[in-house]
A and B are shown apart, each in its own frame.
Chain A
Amino acid sequence: MKYQSQSIAKLYFIAAIGLFVGQILFGVVMGLQYVMGDFLFPYIPFNVARMVHTNLLIVWLLFGFMGASYYLVPEEAERELYAPWLAKLMFWIFLVAGAATILGYLLVPYAELAKLTMNDLLPTMGREFLEQPTITKIGIVIVALSFLFNVGMTVLTGRKTVVTIVLLTGLTGLAVFFLFAFYNPVNIVLDKYFWWWVVHLWVEGVWELIMGAILAFVLIKITGVDREVIEKWLYIIIALTLISGIIGTGHHYFWIGAPGYWQWFGSIFSALEPIPFFVMTLFAFNMVNKRRREHPNKVATLWALGTAVMAFLGAGVWGFLHTLAPVNYYTHGTQITAAHGHMAFYGAYVMIVLTIISYSMPIMRGRTANGPKAQVMEMWSFWLMTVSMVFITLFLTGAGILQVYLQRYSDTPLGFMVVQDKIELFYWMREVSGVIFLIGLILYIMSFFVKHDDEVTA
């Protein structure tokens, strides 16, 4: 570690992993509720478990992105962080606000939480992924702005690299588009139309810039390939991302009241969205093949290659499967969507955060890489989590195909709950895969506690 203030990332990463565990526990609860409908009812109804599951995901990924930024920005900018104290303060504010919000979901009925937090003053609650009380949303804005200020000042007063500029662009976009979370008109079409400016332009826009920047940084470090080469790839990837992804927002505008021309714009541009992910896969494998050094942190390389492949499969391939309007007409809002969501988030965002953690955590703990035992254990966790996520996706896809046929496509369409009963077997298999994912995650955490007497000091 070149700069002292990089170590702030450690706090963020530990919190991220802790919240990750919570996310998966609630995922397993929801999976069980799919097959045992009364599980934990009425104490933790499905909607509460889902809120906790998705909100924890978002919060821990944000912790991950912030930690990644605090780690890589000083190193790239070749100076200490502008205000380390601010980074620490914001960490605690974000953690306390996040924990209080999750406890709020769990301990009081949601309508009560809305009352307690005075949602009526500026109603923003009760929309998917943006369920947080308005006060929490304001907190997120404050944290995001302080974070941007801190990182931005470090970048602007230090060495500017393509990696940091792209990262900063992505983070700025993240903060700006979040502001649409405060726009909540009664008109449902306007509500939905601009809700996607947060959700789509995050995950299929600016977050990909953040992912690209982090991946580029890790590849520079572990492969030793010339920065010029890596930066060119990075520009190509993010150019393709935004060229396809911005108008690609249209694939959410097919059936929510927007004009019919979105079926053309959305289909054509979102059909191009797999391309940047494919280029990212080529990029990662090319750089590793052309590596100029043998970095002792093998498992970080595995994560870097893994995230590129899984993002392509989850976001690219599984996204394309149902993105064309004539197909989406039947698949919209079914388990196909859930299948895509799971593998895309895992492949692109969970794995990129685990990549930077895998690379930087050993360094922050005073060694270039973990010893072989810890690395092998982490590799096992990589495969357990990744393969079980592939199976979660396949089972949900199977459930989704049957659901689409029975409920929407056949000559005698059946009711929603009738169909749900018929596809129960797939939900059981998804739940088993989910438990294996949890085992992989436990192994992942255990890998941090392997004794380091056999550590590599290359």
Chain B
Amino acid sequence: MKETFTKGMARNIYYGGSLFFLLLFFALSFDTVSELPDRDNRQAINESVTLGKKVWEVNNCIGCHTLLGEGAYFAPELGNVVKRYGSKAAVKAFIMSRPKDGVPGRRSMPQFNLSEEELQGVADFLEYVGGVNTENWPPNIQG
């Protein structure tokens, strides 16, 4: 390796290889973004979904839950929660019902004191995420 494979060759592979795969990555990303309109359920985005995403973010829901499998693993997956609970009303009822001081000895979601509009937004946001084409993930309704 000492004589046949020089530092210069290693350097060229580094620069050439990185550049090539970076460009390929950009090309694939460009293609992905142009395919997304048929996959990402963007037609469902409205004012309520927009508000819902904001409520989702400023309460750091991702700090306990996963959404499409990403986030923390302390609490259930929420990408399919509307389907799992059967309705948006059930999701809203759950969020509203959380006891302020938690449940003795158990994990419990905090009481966020959301307004009706915010609750509706979160439910609409989660329903919108549930409509994304995720290649049939998660494997079953339990998430």
Contact = CB atoms under 8 A, between A and B. Distances in A.
The answer to whether A binds B is yes
Contacts of A420: 107
Contacts of B94: none
Interface residues of B, number: 74
A147 B55 CA distance: 35
A338 interface: yes
A193 B32 contact: yes
Contacts of B139: 329-330, 408-409, 413
A232 B142 contact: no
A46 interface: yes
Contact of A47 (B72, B104, B134, B143): B72
Given A187-B45, A242-B17, A413-B142, A110 B60 contact: yes
A47 B74 CA distance: 9
Nearest to B68: A256
Contact of B57 (A125, A187, A338): A125
Interface in B26-83: 28-29, 31-33, 35-36, 39-40, 42, 45, 49-50, 53-54, 56-64, 66-77
A186 B137 contact: no
Interface in A63-87: none
A186 B21 contact: no
A189 B132 contact: yes
The residue in B33, B110, B111 that gathers the most chain A C-beta atoms within 10 A of its C-beta is B110
B135 A260 contact: yes
B74 to A, nearest CB: 5
Interface in A123-150: 123, 125-128, 131
A368 interface: no
A254 B70 CA distance: 12
B75 to A, nearest CB: 7
Contacts of A253: 32
Contacts of B132: 188-189, 256-257
B58 A333 contact: no
Given A42-B102, A242-B14, A190 B62 contact: no
Given A42-B110, A257-B39, A228 B7 contact: yes
Interface of B: 5-7, 10-11, 13-14, 17-18, 21-22, 24-25, 28-29, 31-33, 35-36, 39-40, 42, 45, 49-50, 53-54, 56-64, 66-77, 100-108, 110-112, 128-129, 132-135, 137-143
Given A114-B57, A265-B28, 13 more contacts: A33-B107, A36-B105, A38-B102, A45-B110, A110-B60, A186-B50, A256-B69, A257-B39, A259-B35, A333-B66, A333-B69, A408-B138, A417-B76
Interface of A: 33-34, 36-38, 41-42, 45-48, 50-51, 110-111, 114-115, 119, 123, 125-128, 131, 162, 186-190, 192-193, 228, 231-232, 235-236, 238-239, 242-243, 246-247, 249-250, 252-263, 265, 329-330, 332-335, 337-338, 407-409, 413-417, 420
9 contacts: A45-B63, A188-B53, A247-B24, A247-B25, A256-B68, A256-B70, A333-B73, A416-B76, A416-B143
